[in-house]
Amino acid sequence: MDYLPENKEPQTALIIDDESDICFLLSNILRNNKLNVKFVNSIGEGKLYLERVKPELLFLDNHLPDGYGIDFISYVKKEYADTKIIMVTAHDSTEDRKKALLQGADFFIAKPFSAAEIKNAIQKVYAII
């Protein structure tokens, strides 16, 4: 991967989003950057995957069929402290951004997004200058 240092390079990413088109688009962007990617459509499925794989990156939507991603952040940070969380949501408000960051999200991206925004988010999460 051309934008992460060797010692911090994530190998796996999980996407939790109920929109299939977003999952496919984001998966392609991440796979093009040599990440192993899995996507699921609910918090419940995400919990199961996190238990098995412990991905380095989590792309998390807010409005999911079984809850709010923002409410799931603290669970992830408590159980999987090394997993970086990037919120990706169409519901982009100052209040949601603040709440996500206070809960422990590492970055926040509004939908729609570009490949460059995803790359930038990963660089910032890994503090690459």
Per-residue tens of pLDDT for the chain, all 129 residues: 444 444 466 789 999 999 999 999 999 999 998 899 999 999 999 999 999 999 999 999 999 999 999 999 999 999 999 999 999 988 778 898 999 999 999 999 999 999 999 999 998 998 753
Q: What is the pLDDT of residue 16?
A: 98
Segments making up each domain of the chain, as ranges: 6-125
Residue 52: name the closest of 12, 8, 19 by CA: 12
Q: What is the pLDDT of residue 127?
A: 74
Q: Identify the three-state secondary structure at position 48.
A: helix
What's the whole-model pTM score?
0.90
For residues 14 and 89, what is the distance between their CA atoms, to the nearest angstrom? 15
The CATH architecture assigned to 6-125 reads 3-Layer(aba) Sandwich (3.40)
For residues 62 and 100, what is the distance between their CA atoms, to the nearest angstrom? 9
